[in-house]
Amino acid sequence: MDKYQITFNTWNKVASLYQEKFMDIDLYNDSYDKFCKEIKEVNPSILEVGCGPGNITKYLLKQGPDFRIKAIDVAPNMLQLAKKNNPTVQFEEMDGREIHRLKEKFDGIMVGFCLPYLSKEDAVKLIQDSFQLLNDNGLLYFSFIEGDYENSGYETGSSGDKAFVYYHQEAYLKNVLQQQQFEVLEIMHKDYPKRDTEIQTHCILIAKKRQIQ
């Protein structure tokens, strides 16, 4: 079983625990606000990648009641919770590495903490795929754990289940965005207390797809 499948199985198993921990967390709300305010279209189409139990989905709908959200996740149990929390949203079981198969175009793509579970190569592919799926001037939001990629590895949660966690670097991903013709609008950092003695730096990048001439 590869590291992705082990991680996916863990997320499916701990869906309810994840909901209890993160459904009402407000640490990142100002970054979601920034994303929503930069969406200028009426009734915009939004793709959310890795929606989990629908915590970000719910916040986006509160800020933008006219948002037309399509949300995907690889874990069926996460999707079951997300549907209960957001009954008006279109949900689909899909691996975030497969969004190139989607036929729609979107005004915004929200990727809240998927990158910690994607390799550097797959993170780059996600940015490339997002560019193709966005309308001109469309927004891309993603967040990740800042750190040395070489320190990536399995981490065990409170349930005893493990997931493979990838660390990424802001400078590298910012450069990838610029190479893909994105304009970086906002970079935010959050101190996240992972354990009593450890503080992680969570980084958020919001970028706009440049209009193709």
How many CA within 13 A on the CB side of residue 185?
A: 18
CA–CA separation, 166 vs 121, rounded Å?
A: 11
Taking residues 168-187, report their average pLDDT.
97
Closest by CA position to 143, among listed 72, 201, 93: 201
Q: Where are the domains of the chain?
A: 3-209
Q: Would you state the structure tokens that stand for residue 72, as one six-digit string? A: 């995907």
Taking residues 74-93, report their average pLDDT.
97
Given a cut of 90, whether residue 213 has pLDDT beyond it is no
Closest by CA position to 45, among listed 89, 96, 85: 89
Q: What is the mean pLDDT of the chain?
A: 95
Residue with tokens 């970000």: 56
Please give the radius of gyration of the chain, using alpha carbons only, rounded to the nearest integer: 16
pLDDT band at 108 (very low <50, low <70, confident <90, very high): very high
CA–CA separation, 106 vs 6, rounded Å?
A: 31
pTM recorded for the entire structure: 0.96
The rounded percent of the chain whose pLDDT value lies above 70 is 98
Q: What count of other Cβ atoms lies within 10 Å of the Cβ of residue 139?
A: 27
- At a CB cut-off of 8 Å and minimum separation 6, what does 19 contact? 52, 53, 55, 81
Per-residue pLDDT of 8-44, as tens digits, reads: 999 999 999 999 989 999 999 999 999 999 999 999 9
Taking residues 157-169, report their average pLDDT.
93
For 103-146, the DSSP string reads ---EEEEEE-S-GGGS-HHHHHHHHHHHHHHEEEEEEEEEEEEB
For residue 100, report the phi and psi dihedrals to the nearest 5 degrees.
-65, -15
Q: Would you state the structure tokens that stand for residue 61, as one six-digit string? A: 């709908």
Taking residues 172-184, report their average pLDDT.
96
Query: Which pLDDT value is given to residue 141?
Result: 98
Given a cut of 80, whether residue 197 has pLDDT beyond it is no
Taking residues 201-207, report their average pLDDT.
98
Per-residue pLDDT of 127-141, as tens digits, reads: 999 999 999 999 999
Ordered alpha helix ranges (H), 3-161 = 3-13, 15-22, 29-38, 55-63, 76-85, 120-133
- Which pairing describes strands 68-73 and 134-145: parallel, antiparallel, or unpaired? unpaired
Taking residues 177-202, report their average pLDDT.
92
3-209, superfamily in CATH? Vaccinia Virus protein VP39 (3.40.50.150)
